[in-house]
Amino acid sequence: MRNLLTGASAACLLAFGAGAARADEGMWTFDNFPAAAVKATYGVSIDQAWLGHVQANAVRLSTGCSASIVSGQGLVLTNHHCVADCAQDLSTATSDHLKTGFLTDSREEERTCPGMQAEVLLSIKDVTDPVRQAAAGKTGADFIKARNAAIADIEKSNCADKEAVRTCQVVNLYQDGQYKLYTFKKYADVRLVFAPELQTAFFGGDPDNFNFPRYDLDMSFVRLYEGGKPVATPGRMVWNPAPPKDGEPTFVAGNPGSTCRLLTADQLDFLRDVSFPMTLTQLAELRGRLIEFGKRGPEQQRVASHELFGIENSYKVYVGQLQALSEPGFLAGKRQADAELKAKVAADPALAARIGDPWEAIAKVQAERASLYAPYMLLEGRAGFYSPLYGYAVDLVRAAQERAKPNAERLPEYAQARLPLLEKEVLDVKPIDQALNQLQIEFWLLKVREVLTADAPQTQGLLGKDSPETIAARLSASSLADPAVRKALWDGGLPAVQASKDPLIQYVLATDAAARAARKTYEEKVAGPTGQAAQKIAAARFAVYGDRIYPDATFSPRLSYGKVAGWTYRGQTIPATTVFKGLWARATGQDPFALAPRWTAAQGKLKDDTVFDFVTTNDIIGGNSGSPVLNAKGEVIGAAFDGNIHSLGGAFAYDGAINRTVVTSTAGATEALLQVYGRTALVDELLAGSTKSGAKR
Amino acid sequence: MRNLLTGASAACLLAFGAGAARADEGMWTFDNFPAAAVKATYGVSIDQAWLGHVQANAVRLSTGCSASIVSGQGLVLTNHHCVADCAQDLSTATSDHLKTGFLTDSREEERTCPGMQAEVLLSIKDVTDPVRQAAAGKTGADFIKARNAAIADIEKSNCADKEAVRTCQVVNLYQDGQYKLYTFKKYADVRLVFAPELQTAFFGGDPDNFNFPRYDLDMSFVRLYEGGKPVATPGRMVWNPAPPKDGEPTFVAGNPGSTCRLLTADQLDFLRDVSFPMTLTQLAELRGRLIEFGKRGPEQQRVASHELFGIENSYKVYVGQLQALSEPGFLAGKRQADAELKAKVAADPALAARIGDPWEAIAKVQAERASLYAPYMLLEGRAGFYSPLYGYAVDLVRAAQERAKPNAERLPEYAQARLPLLEKEVLDVKPIDQALNQLQIEFWLLKVREVLTADAPQTQGLLGKDSPETIAARLSASSLADPAVRKALWDGGLPAVQASKDPLIQYVLATDAAARAARKTYEEKVAGPTGQAAQKIAAARFAVYGDRIYPDATFSPRLSYGKVAGWTYRGQTIPATTVFKGLWARATGQDPFALAPRWTAAQGKLKDDTVFDFVTTNDIIGGNSGSPVLNAKGEVIGAAFDGNIHSLGGAFAYDGAINRTVVTSTAGATEALLQVYGRTALVDELLAGSTKSGAKR
């Protein structure tokens, strides 16, 4: 299923890495980690064994998160908000795991998370040449198509006959500057082991999101299974329950989702003036609808609340990013940086001849982009506005159509290598709230009519003589909420899809041509020309800065370095750590500052001065959620779960003075697991064979 | 009551008129109308008699609209959306005048509109010198206070003992460049006579708002009463039911609310980067809540729908304004215009010495403004977020406090001259929906916590240990919905207010100091320094351009000129008129494109080619709603009700090629009144003594 929360990702698809990185800056690939800089700054030696150990235990979750293997029995540490979808899917009107938590006393009680897949990176191989050659000389949509076809071929051939246990992915780095084949070990059966209450994991709620000081146990555990049994993972990372020390070096291994650090200033203008205002206002309105929907009753509150979390989280990210772009002098500085790189290129005639003026080419694209962006986003990029049933329908219709084509001819998300996960996502059992789904489709069609206008052919194609309200009500009678119906359509392929009487399938069959057309036009006029120009800028950057640069984030495995440290802003200094005592002080008894009953009961048993959350200077971004925070020995001392408010500008630039990673510490977590949740067996598993330094039993 | 929908007004308070106006540009005062330009462009002679006749029949409505006297018995033409509040207030769960319309068969059925007051301009007198002198040498908040005190004194003394029938208002023109005392004849009893169904007045709804072609009967009638009887108005404007002719000259007399045509580029940067994003996202979220609130049931739908119209209308205005500001080259052009005026000043040493560099002073203010804007708007400018009960509470508390002070010491909205209308607004009977009111207060407090953060002292002052939801529920138990309670508090003054047990009164008493402080800080750091600098820029502009400039709009009587004309945009030409035939084609049967039953029934009786709506080049803006559109003879040929989408950029600049006023024609209205609504007596009244040219009986 298409992840519709990755608007930032789409917006910044064409970003690439900055000039030579400063201290603590960068989301580095495992094959280009700046060990010398780390040695110089922190005196820590990072060798291949260290890197190999970390890479082998760093996990990517298909739900858009990061994680780590922390026991010999396949136990995986991640954030609560990374398994909140799962906890929601495993809940019912009478059993709400977001409210009460999810606790297991035996392996038998561990339950598979719908749609979740875990991956561990096995190897990296450079495939830049064949991909480049396939697209050489092509322009516009042909450039995109040829590149994607080459990638699809490499992914398919390298994982042939191993799809059940391997994922092959060509990762685009430095904006078409490099292509590397990442091969992952794949785990398709991931089961929920432990999740605290949402109000514990997300204490402070949206008001405290991206803030610090913080008092969140945003930590959960899942377990990898194969053949119905836990996977043996003897090489696991060590869980070290000692508290962090101010200034101690830290490393974060994870999958940062998307940064836009070196878009040209013209591209950033576009984000500020066109993309962000449209996205923010739509998220805000949908947020209002979800809040009010939740007031219909407790069950509506339950089903809407998790959806709302995602919307509010995205909303706050965009607000922070827009503020960063609007900061006086910021865009002028970006324009200056563009000019400096151009000047360095111009000073070298041979380089200048090879590079040309891709900055101007990108500038020219922006005007066209301003008029094509809305139809592209509304018909394709954000079509359905998070409606799960609409998402199923599009995937079922398109997968049926695309699977009938040769691999190289398909839309890339339906290429052979991508189908196993897609099939899992479409077929796994998940509860669907029909009324909420209706709200989402109605909202989508209302925005189509509002933004594109009632007279636009695209609007008329989607609405005919009907209103958004009428169509949404009609489509919500879809039977796609039934997994058996989805399976029949998936297995039956195009004939089954075309014969389906389901209103949503019929609707997508009737309207999908317009969505594909909007996408093709956007690729032809925007993505293609931009990709070609960005390739040139990337080449200029390699020529000028060599390998002292890191690629922009693309939700692929990365490693960052930094240290435990607070920060000072406008004269106010924020310490690096919080302790349990602060939680008691901040609890008002009212949502979102209310303690879960287990915590109120356990208050006397927890030590007031135990470190709960802390911050580090590591350079991370959304997608890093759940990443292990490691000490110099490579031991886990926390799970990264957020950035501070200043980190949101990190989409465009890293500022080591104020940009901070927010972490739930193993110290606080270990104590809470024992004293609040009574998870003796779980803690025993975590500490088995560890140094036990600092263990609190 | 404070009109909370005038965010644009607050944002642009510091605007002033452009350089020498181009053809059709300008919202001119009656004492500086460019008759020579009109003569040169259109060959029409506008003399004092013409101006006097129009001024004497042009009406300002206290609800933020314009209107005109169109019969000898005090009948007043305005828009439906200008009386929609009234129609809503006169409705109940079982009698919905927005749905069914409001039709009267006799004077006895005409009903007073709560809170509505009508004013007709009697005279204009220059009072620039005394106001200037009072504020001379003052800075910051003292500048604002001294100016306001002088104004309060002039207004009070000139209307002394005549408050029941006169309004005295000092109008700020050319941004503290001129102050003029406008004296109005006042009508405090305005009764609703005729309103069509909302779906007829607002056919096409929000999707078609600010669009054209259009098919709206956005027209209603009220009547002026004195002593319980209709006012005799023999000098009324003539209702001419002839259709408009392409190219014929047109004049619009009304009260444009707010323009920002010559803010400096730095001030426009602030609007784009800080003000509009915050305003737009808040409106969007509230919109989502109101839409979903309306889905709770038919009664909630009814009470929310009119509130929703206001929100959606404002939202679309801001979207259009933001688009205009973000148009490539627009802000660069503004910066260029600033530089040109500065250069002209610099070229004249004496002038340069007098003016200094107010542009730099304004630039410096913007950084401070960026941090003060949010607390100012949330605590004061938009406090309560349209909650009527909160509005009552603030007015009751502050009026009691302010009335105890000398006139010159009061907040200006509680000065003696403003109290009669305020009292009427607070005491008139209006229905209040408690649940909707609770939603508005909750939303406001949620935004306070979100934007200012949970840790801000202002947030803690408003919330304490409670949540926004808890407080809103508590405050909604207020008894201020009862007019008798309000009257007792108004009449009882400060002792009664302080003794009140009403939770909302107690809440405002406890929190209002913080709101006043935020306002005072904003006046000291932003409004004061900006006002002083803008005064200098206005002086520079007068020195350079003389009287060939018009002041920015300030919701005071103005006159614009232009002609009936369509426009061409991106190769597409839009004709100037629509006819009934187009309405039948556009009707889909589904909201908001569904015909009211009366119209479906009357379709065969209406002539397909009768002009329904039309567009002109007149330069108008929000506040002009309901303005009479006049032909060269000064006869009414329509009621202006909207601008096209390009007119929204008119807040910052007028573009005669595409900026259009949208009008309901008297031709279509006359036919509809007779054939759809059977309003024979009303049409007889309109046509009595008129030329009857084109009358269709």
* B155 vs A638: CA distance, rounded Å: 67
- How far is the CA of B187 from the CAs of A11, A313, A370, B194, B224, in angstroms? 56, 52, 50, 19, 6
- Nearest by CB to residue A453, choosing from B207, B291, B326, is B207
Task: For residue B567, give every residue at least 6 positions away whose Cβ sits within 8 Å of its Cβ, in sequence order, or none.
Answer: B573, B574, B615, B644, B646, B657, B658, B660
B326–chain A Cβ distance below 8 A for any pair: yes
Structure tokens at B306: 């009119």
**B interface test, pick of A281, A466, A593 with most B CB neighbours within 10 Å:** A281
Chain A (113-172) residues lying within 8 Å, Cβ to Cβ, of chain B:
none
Q: What's the number of CA atoms in the CB half-sphere (13 Å) around residue A521?
A: 19
Which chain A residues touch B308 with a CB distance below 8 Å? none
* Of the candidates B531, B634, B616, the residue with the CA atom closest to the CA atom of residue B13: B531
Identity of the residue numbered A129: D
Residue A292 to residue B439, Cβ atoms within 8 A: yes
Residues of B in contact with A449 (CB under 8 A): 207
* Residues of A in Cβ contact (< 8 Å) with B453: 207, 211
Eight-class DSSP state of A296: T
Determine whether the interchain pair A454/B277 forms a contact, defined as Cβ–Cβ distance below 8 Å.
no
C-alpha Rg value of chain B to the nearest Å: 24
When pLDDT is cut at 50, 70 and 90, the band that residue A535 belongs to is confident
pLDDT tens per residue across span B442-488: 999 999 999 999 999 999 999 999 999 999 999 999 999 999 999 99
Q: Which residue has the tokens 């804007």?
A: B373
Residue in A284, A328, A450 closest to B285 by CB: A284
Average of per-residue pLDDT across A309-322: 95
> What's the average model confidence in pLDDT over A193-212?
97
Q: What whole-number distance in Å separates Cα of residue B261 and Cα of residue B18?
A: 6
Which helix (H) or strand (E) segment holds residue A616: the answer is strand A611-616
Give mean pLDDT, residues A319-333: 91
Q: Would you say residue A392 has pLDDT above 80?
A: yes
Q: Confirm or reject contact between B369 and chain A (CB < 8 A).
A: no
Say yes or no: B433 contacts chain A, CB-CB below 8 A: no
Over residues B167-187, the mean pLDDT reads: 93
Average pLDDT, chain B: 93
Measured in angstroms, the CA of B368 and the nearest CA of chain A are apart by 12
Distance from CA of B352 to the nearest CA of A (A): 29
CB contact residues (below 8 A), chain A span 589-618, against chain B:
589-593
Lowest mean pLDDT among A7-16, A85-94, A645-654: A7-16
User: pLDDT digit string (tens) for B221-238?
Assistant: 999 999 999 999 999 999
A47 touching B (Cβ < 8 Å): no
A466 touches chain B (CB under 8 A): yes
Question: Helices B80-89 & B298-326, crossing angle to 10 degrees?
Answer: 150
**B368 near A CB under 8 A:** no
Contact criterion met (CB < 8 Å) for A588 and B465: yes
Disruptive mutation site among A202, A209, A282, A295 for chain B (greatest number of B CBs within 10 Å): A295
Percent of chain A topping pLDDT 70: 96
Does residue A287 belong to the interface with chain B, where contact is any CB pair within 8 Å?
Answer: yes
User: Least CB-CB distance to B284: which of A206, A284, A593?
Assistant: A284
- Cβ contact, residue pair B289, A293, below 8 Å: no
The stretch A450-474 carries a mean pLDDT of: 96
Query: For the residues of B66-115, what is the DSSP string, one character each?
Result: EEEE-STT-EEEE-HHHHHHHHHHT-BTTB-HHHH-EE-SSGGG-EEPTT
Q: Is the pLDDT of residue B329 over 90?
A: no
Test A284 with B289 for CB contact under 8 angstroms. Answer: no
Q: Parallel, antiparallel, or unpaired for β B58-61 and B118-126?
A: antiparallel
**Between residues A341 and B545, which one has the greater pLDDT?**
A341
Torsion of CA A687, A690, A696, A697, to 10 degrees: 50
- Per-residue pLDDT of B373-393, as tens digits, reads 999 999 999 999 999 999 999
Does the distance separating the beta carbons of A273 and B277 come in below 8 Å? Answer: no
> Is B31 an 8 Å CB contact of chain A?
no
The ipTM of this complex is 0.93
The amino acid sitting at A146 is A
The minimum CA-CA distance between A44 and chain B, rounded to whole Å, is 38
Report whether pLDDT(B610) > 90: yes
pLDDT of residue B15 exceeding 50, the answer is: no
Q: What is the mean pLDDT of residues A608-637?
A: 97
Q: Of the candidates B668, B669, B645, which has an alpha carbon nearest to the alpha carbon of residue B658?
A: B645
Nearest-by-Cβ selection for A207 from B204, B286, B449: B449
The phi, psi pair for A102, rounded to 5°, reads -130, 110
Q: Which of B269, B270, B289 to mutate to test the interface with A (most CBs of A within 10 A)?
A: B289
Q: What's the pLDDT at B693? A: 43
How many other β-carbons are positioned within 10 Å of the β-carbon of residue B242? 19
**Of B546 and A660, the one with more pLDDT:** A660
Q: Which of A211, A290, A293 sits opposite B453 (nearest CB)?
A: A211
pLDDT tens digits along B108-122: 999 999 999 999 999
Asked if A280 reaches chain B (Cβ–Cβ under 8 Å), the answer is yes
Which range among A16-30, A285-299, B68-82 shows the weakest confidence by mean pLDDT?
A16-30
Confidence of residue A7 (pLDDT cuts 50, 70, 90): very low
Averaged pLDDT, B172-179: 87
Q: What percent of chain A has pLDDT over 90?
A: 90
Q: How confident is the model at residue B19 (pLDDT cuts 50, 70, 90)?
A: low
What does the block give as tokens for B481? 């919905």
Q: What own/partner pairs with CB < 8 Å and gap ≥ 24 does B292-296 have?
A: B292/A288, B292/A289, B292/A291, B292/A292, B292/A293, B292/A439, B293/A292, B293/B435, B293/B436, B293/B439, B296/A296
Q: What is the 3-state secondary structure (H, E, C) of A389-400?
A: HHHHHHHHHHHH
Q: Which residue of A has its CA nearest to B449?
A: A207
Q: Does residue A311 surpass a pLDDT of 60?
A: yes
- Is B329 touching A (CB cutoff 8 A)? no
Strand partners of residue A111: A192
Contacts of A213 (CB under 8 A, 6+ apart): A574, A575, A578, A582, A613
DSSP letters for B175-208? TTTEEEEEEEEEE-EEEEEEE--HHHHTTTHHHH
Chain B residue with CA closest to A446: the answer is: B207
Cβ–Cβ contact A301 with B under 8 A: no
Beta carbons of A207 and B454 less than 8 Å apart: yes
**Does the pLDDT at position B325 exceed 70?**
yes
Rounded CA separation B682/B688 (Å):
10
Closest CA to B79 of B219, B264, B282: B219
- The residue whose two tokens read 């920015």 is B552
Residue A690 has a pLDDT of 61
Stretch A623-630: mean pLDDT = 98
Which is nearest to A486 in space by CA: A604, A363, A393? A393
Give residue A403's pLDDT. Answer: 97
B280 to chain A nearest CA, in Å?
A: 7
Whether the CB of A317 is below 8 Å from some CB of chain B: the reply is no
| CA-closest candidate to residue B422, choices B433, B431, B432, B411 | B411
**Residue A163: Cβ within 10 Å count:** 16
Q: Which residues of A touch B315 (CB under 8 A)?
A: 281
Give A215 or A11, the one with higher predicted confidence.
A215
pLDDT range class, residue B696, cuts 50, 70, 90: very low
The total number of residues written for chain A in this structure: 697
With CB atoms and an 8 Å threshold, state whether B465 touches A206.
no
Tokens of A74: 């396949």
Q: B319 touching A, CB under 8 A?
A: yes
Q: Mind listing the pLDDT tens digit for each residue in B637-655?
A: 999 999 999 999 999 999 9
Q: How many CB atoms lie within 10 A of CB A158?
A: 18
Q: Are strands A611-616 and B572-574 parallel, antiparallel or unpaired?
A: unpaired
Cβ neighbours of A527 (radius 10 Å)? 22
Contact A679, A103 (CB under 8 A): yes
- pLDDT of A549 strictly over 90: no
Inform me whether the C-beta atom of residue B187 falls under 8 Å from chain A C-beta atoms. no
Q: At what angle do helices B419-427 and B388-403 cross, to 10 degrees?
A: 140
Query: Is A208's CB within 8 Å of B439's CB?
Result: no
Does A290 have pLDDT greater than 90? yes
Q: Do B277 and A280 touch (CB under 8 A)?
A: yes
pLDDT surpasses 90 at A644: yes
Q: Is A296 on the interface with B (CB under 8 A)?
A: yes
* Residues contacting residue A114 through CB under 8 Å, at least 6 positions apart: A86, A89, A428, A429, A430
- C-alpha distances in Å from residue A60, one per residue of A78, A121, A556, A637: 10, 8, 8, 19
State how far residue B469 is from chain A, nearest Cα, in angstroms: 9
Check residue B175 and give its pLDDT.
78
By residue count, chain B amounts to 697
Best of A270, A292, A313, A369 to mutate (most B CBs within 10 Å, chain B): A292
pLDDT(B546) > 90:
no
For A50, A141, A399, B64, B441, the CA distances from A182, given in Å and listed in that order, are 19, 25, 24, 63, 53
pLDDT classification of A548: cutoffs 50, 70, 90:
confident
φ, ψ dihedrals at A428, nearest 5°: -60, 145
Using CB atoms, which residue from B204, B211, B453 is nearest to A207?
B453
A111, A498 Cβ separation under 8 angstroms: no
pLDDT(B694) > 60: no
Asked if the C-beta of A689 comes within 8 angstroms of chain B's C-beta atoms, the answer is no
* Identity of the residue numbered A588: T
Residue-averaged pLDDT of chain A: 93
Closest Cα of chain B to A522: distance in Å?
A: 20
